[in-house]
Each structure stands twice: as C-alpha cells, then as structure tokens.
C-alpha cells in the first residue's frame, strides 16, 4: 500500500516587510529586520528598487530573472559600501538557492552570511546567528546528511530554549526548528519523536497572529500522515479532516487533492471502505478537473487499492 504523503512544507514567516512589498513565505523568513537593512527602506535609492524587483520576480516564480537581478543588487550594495545591504542580498540569494534546491550553493551562501553577521560582532546566542545555523542544518537535512543536521538542530534548540524571556523572533525560530527536526525523525523512521516535535511546532505556530493559514493546513495534513504511520488512525483522520476543511477556505491550496487521498487511505486502513472510496473519488475528480496528472495517478492507485 502506498503511504499518505507529506505536502511540501511552507517556511514560516516572521520578517516585518515594508508597506507595499509582499515577500513569498518561502523567502520571508530572512534576517532583514535583524541586521538593520530596514533603514535602507527609508531612502529612495536604486538599491532598494532593485531589491523590490527581485522580490517581485521571486513572488512570480521567475527565479532566473530574480537571480540575475540579485547580482545587480549585490554590485550596487558593494559600490555603496552598505554592509547590511550586502549581507541581506547574500541572505536572499541563499534562501532562493534553498528554494530552488541548489543545496551546495545555498550552503556556501549561508556560510558567507554567517561569517558577515558574526564579523559584525554578533554572538552565538544572537537570533541572527541561530537563524542562519538553523538554515544550514536544514540544508544538511535535505542533503540527507542526517547526523550533521541533527547536531545543528540540537545546537539551535539549545540556544533558543536557553532564553529566559524569548521574543517573538525566538519563539518563531523554535517553532521552525521543532518542525524541521520532527520531519528529520520521521524520515529516519522515528515517528514518535518526530510527531512530538511537529505537534509542539504546530501548537506554537497557531498562536502567532500573522501565521499563514496555508502553513497551518500543511502542518495538520503532515501530522495526520505521521499518525497514520504510527497506526493512530483516529488522530490521522482528525488532523487530515481539519486540514481539508481549513484548506477549502484557501483559493490557491494546490495540495488539497492529495489531502483527500491521504484521508481516503487512512479510512481504508481503518476498513471504512465507503468513506475511503468517497475521499479518493473526490481526489480523482479534482485531478481530472484541474488536469493534475500526478494527483489523478495517486487517486487512481488509491481506488485500485480500495477495490482490491
């Protein structure tokens, strides 16, 4: 039997963005407000206009254009000798490389950002330093270097949990670290530990006022998939059902169909075949309607399993 699927995680966003600029969630967890670059936004200069255009290209998924323009922004920042600007451009480059799964490139860029931030006098406990190390741990995780990734996550959580009165930035970093760490454990077939971390991350994230609904939907679905792996089918059905109901409120929730497949498979495992057929059938209709061949294939496999 094919297992229920995680949907692609959405990176958490906590950076305060100036009015008029909307950064994609996968990039907005940057260190913009932590390094002082927000001061640039008070000046009408070519650098900020270039960065704005980079952000817009990224938002539209035009990554090649964004990458080329980021090199222009870097040259501008270097000519201005604006050290915070240079660091920020490197950080956006690193996040873009991570989003494009150019992992070796992302690692080199994040190391460069870390060196610049620590060179400016930041300590190990500084949220900027922890944030960058967390991203580096994530890169190692995606490269399946699980030992190095685990060391990185442990180090970050130790620094973050040592804060007596953590700010919202620290709390958001804790949530992200727990989420990624939990997913690592699941990938290593340690589902109980993974579930513990992912549930803690979810509970933290839903308390943030500015948390994107789409991210909560993803978290609920993925908690449901972990519960299915542990044969905790009632909780699996509960989480995935909540994800679907919340996902229906989001017009651009592309992964809703696969969540119906996941729910169908949970019902199938529980031997509730009528409900299983209903949900996988709905996923199949969505796949056909949206011309999504991958979803259609997943739903058809689900229906075949039910009928067999």
Q: Find the CATH number of the domain harbouring 279.
A: 1.25.40.10
**Selected residue with higher pLDDT from 156 and 163:** 156
Taking the CA atoms of the chain, what radius of gyration do you get in angstroms? 21
pLDDT of residue 19: 27
Average pLDDT over residues 35-48: 57
pLDDT-derived band at 2 (thresholds 50, 70, 90) equals low
* pLDDT of 4 over the 80 cut: no
* pLDDT of 116 over the 50 cut: yes
Which residues are within 8 A (CB) of 6 and not within 5 positions of it... i.e. 6 or more apart? 183, 221, 222, 225
Pair 304, 223 in one domain: yes
pLDDT of residue 3: 55
pLDDT of residue 96: 93
Pair 105, 69 in one domain: yes
Average pLDDT over residues 13-27: 32
Pair 103, 150 in one domain: no
- Tell me phi and psi for residue 2, to 5 degrees: -70, 145
Distance of CA 39 to the CA centre of its chain: 27
Pair 238, 201 in one domain: no
pLDDT of residue 137: 97
pLDDT of residue 17: 25
The answer to whether 40 touches 55, Cβ cutoff 8 Å, is no
Pair 152, 112 in one domain: no
Count of the separate structural domains present in the chain: 3
pLDDT of residue 84: 87
- How many Cα atoms sit within 13 Å of 159 on the Cβ side? 20
Which residues are within 8 A (CB) of 123 and not within 5 positions of it... i.e. 6 or more apart? 129
**Residue indicated by tokens 């992302």:** 106
- Tell me phi and psi for residue 220, to 5 degrees: -65, -45
pLDDT-derived band at 6 (thresholds 50, 70, 90) equals low
Tell me the pTM. 0.83
Average pLDDT over residues 219-246: 97
pLDDT-derived band at 79 (thresholds 50, 70, 90) equals confident
At which of 118, 144, 163 does a domain end?
118
pLDDT-derived band at 22 (thresholds 50, 70, 90) equals very low
Report the mean per-residue pLDDT for the chain: 86
Pair 48, 112 in one domain: yes
pLDDT-derived band at 81 (thresholds 50, 70, 90) equals confident
- Tell me phi and psi for residue 208, to 5 degrees: -80, 130
pLDDT of residue 28: 43
Average pLDDT over residues 18-42: 43
- Other beta carbons within 10 angstroms of residue 241's beta carbon come to 16
Q: How many whole angstroms separate alpha carbon 275 and alpha carbon 175?
A: 34
Q: pLDDT tens for residues 264-305?
A: 999 999 999 999 999 999 999 999 999 999 999 999 999 999
**Residue indicated by tokens 């952000």:** 55
**Selected residue with higher pLDDT from 19 and 118:** 118
Pair 229, 290 in one domain: yes
At which of 183, 206, 229 does a domain end?
206
The answer to whether 267 touches 276, Cβ cutoff 8 Å, is yes
Which structure tokens are listed for 149?
A: 């990734």
Pair 157, 77 in one domain: no
* Residue-range definition of the domain harbouring residue 227: 212-308
pLDDT of residue 7: 56
Q: How many whole angstroms separate alpha carbon 91 and alpha carbon 85?
A: 10
Pair 187, 222 in one domain: no
Pair 239, 171 in one domain: no
33-37, 60-64, 301-305: least confident range = 33-37
Which structure tokens are listed for 266?
A: 């949970």
At which of 206, 237, 252 does a domain end?
206
- Other beta carbons within 10 angstroms of residue 198's beta carbon come to 24
**Residue indicated by tokens 């190692």:** 140
The answer to whether 105 touches 66, Cβ cutoff 8 Å, is no
pLDDT of residue 253: 86
Pair 26, 82 in one domain: yes
pLDDT of residue 37: 54
Q: What is the CATH number of the domain that holds 7?
A: 1.25.40
**Selected residue with higher pLDDT from 58 and 145:** 145
Pair 225, 162 in one domain: no
């Amino acid at each position: 039997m094919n297992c229920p699927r995680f949907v692609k995680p959405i990176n958490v966003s906590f950076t305060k963005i100036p009015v008029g600029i909307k950064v994609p969630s996968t990039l907005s967890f940057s260190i913009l407000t932590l390094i002082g670059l927000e001061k640039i936004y008070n000046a009408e200069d070519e650098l900020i206009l270039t960065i704005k255009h980079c952000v817009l290209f990224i938002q539209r998924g035009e990554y090649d254009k964004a990458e080329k323009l980021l090199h222009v922004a870097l040259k501008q920042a270097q000519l201005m000798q604006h050290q915070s600007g240079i660091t920020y451009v490197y950080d956006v480059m690193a996040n873009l490389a991570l989003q494009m799964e150019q992992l070796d490139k992302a690692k080199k860029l994040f190391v460069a950002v870390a060196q610049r931030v620590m060179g400016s006098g930041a300590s190990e406990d500084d949220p900027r330093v922890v944030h960058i190390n967390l991203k580096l741990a994530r890169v190692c995780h995606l490269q399946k270097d699980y030992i190095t990734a685990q060391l990185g996550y442990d180090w970050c959580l130790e620094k973050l949990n040592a804060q007596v009165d953590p700010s919202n930035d620290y709390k958001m970093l804790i949530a992200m670290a727990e989420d990624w760490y939990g997913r690592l454990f699941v990938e290593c077939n340690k589902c109980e530990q993974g579930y513990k971390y992912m549930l803690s991350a979810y509970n933290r994230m839903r308390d943030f006022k500015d948390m994107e609904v789409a991210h909560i939907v993803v978290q609920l679905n993925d908690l449901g998939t972990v519960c299915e792996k542990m044969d905790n089918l009632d909780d699996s059905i509960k989480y995935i059902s909540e994800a679907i109901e919340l996902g229906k409120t989001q017009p651009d929730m592309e992964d809703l169909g696969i969540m119906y497949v996941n729910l169908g498979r949970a019902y199938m495992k529980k031997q509730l075949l009528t409900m299983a057929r209903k949900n996988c059938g709905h996923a199949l209709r969505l796949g056909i309607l949206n011309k999504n061949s991958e979803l259609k294939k997943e739903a058809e496999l689900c229906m075949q399993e039910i009928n067999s």
